[in-house]
Chains A and B, each alone.
Chain A
Amino acid sequence: MNVRDIVERLSLEVKTAKGDLQREVRGCYISDLLSDVMANAREGELWITLQTHPNIIAVAVLKNLAGIIITNKRTPEEETLKKAGDEGVTIAVSQSPTFEVGGKLYTILQC
């Protein structure tokens, strides 16, 4: 399962041009606490969060995550998208709340 498959199945909108949509997704981590993600997310996972500020890109780069899904109709800040472009991090947004996005992704990644 790669990032593009998940974008399609969850009807996400990709906000970045340079991220690697072919990248294999190895799991998912859900948290809005950045230190928690630093401590517990694993390489190759998608990260579901409400956070929209530029520091999420640094976290995604340092943890080598597969991409970030921002939920609940939130939009990433301008500076966040610029940094995501510089670093090649994929950001996708969802209109749905975290529970729904996480629940669907859980089902998809189980099979």
Chain B
Amino acid sequence: MSSGRAIEGSFHLTGGDFTNAGAASSELKSILTNLGISLAIVRRAAIATFEAEMNVIIHAVAGVMYYQVTADSIKVILNDMGPGIPDIGLAMQEGYSTAPDWIREMGWGAGMGLPNMKKNSDEFKVDSVVGEGTTVEIVIRIKEESP
């Protein structure tokens, strides 16, 4: 990739729209693959962004997934309007979920989403205002840091 230039774009996400769930992450995965980014990095980005996309669909009303790819990193920011997260530390715990039964019957709501995002990111941040919404920032470095 030519250095210095950023490739960026965004996708709209609609809460409750399970039919199109995953469309944004799949599209972003294709974009990253076509940029020639290594498979291992693309895989991590796919896991993290899909979980983040699903959280907007499951827990929020609407949101935007914004991405920016430079020669050094993939940055994805998800901004939603929704209930927000009262206790982020608790939400980050593996197995914690407020998803209702019908979501769990679909195999979601295992409380693994935020932990999966963190595990697959080099930098990971969650900000939330209860009653307003949540912002998730995922950064995955493309270049190995020089030793």
Contacts and interface: CB of A to CB of B under 8 A. Distances in A.
A and B interact: yes
A62 B18 contact: no
B107 A32 contact: yes
Interface string A43-61: 1000001010111011101
Interface stretch (B2-10, B45-53, B64-72): B45-53
A34 B19 contact: no
Given A34-B108, A53-B106, A62 B46 contact: yes
| Most A C-beta atoms less than 10 A away, residue of B54, B107, B110, B112 | B107
Interface stretch (B22-30, B75-83, B138-146): B22-30
B110 A35 contact: yes
A1 interface: no
Which size bracket describes the interface of A in this complex?
20 to 34
Q: Is the interface of B mostly helix, strand, loop or mixed?
A: helix
A38 B116 contact: yes
A111 interface: no
Nearest to B18: A55
Nearest to A56: B107
A79 interface: yes
A62 B29 contact: yes
A49 to B, nearest CB: 8
A55 B116 CA distance: 17
A9 B110 CA distance: 33
Given A33-B107, A51-B106, A62 B22 contact: yes
A53 to B, nearest CB: 6
A51 B50 CA distance: 18
B85 interface: no
Nearest to A60: B22
B51 A54 contact: no
A39 B47 CA distance: 7
B26 A58 contact: yes
Interface in B90-106: 106
B19 A58 contact: no
B19 A62 contact: no
A5 interface: no
A95 to B, nearest CB: 21
Interface of A: 32-36, 38-39, 43, 49, 51, 53-55, 57-59, 61-63, 79
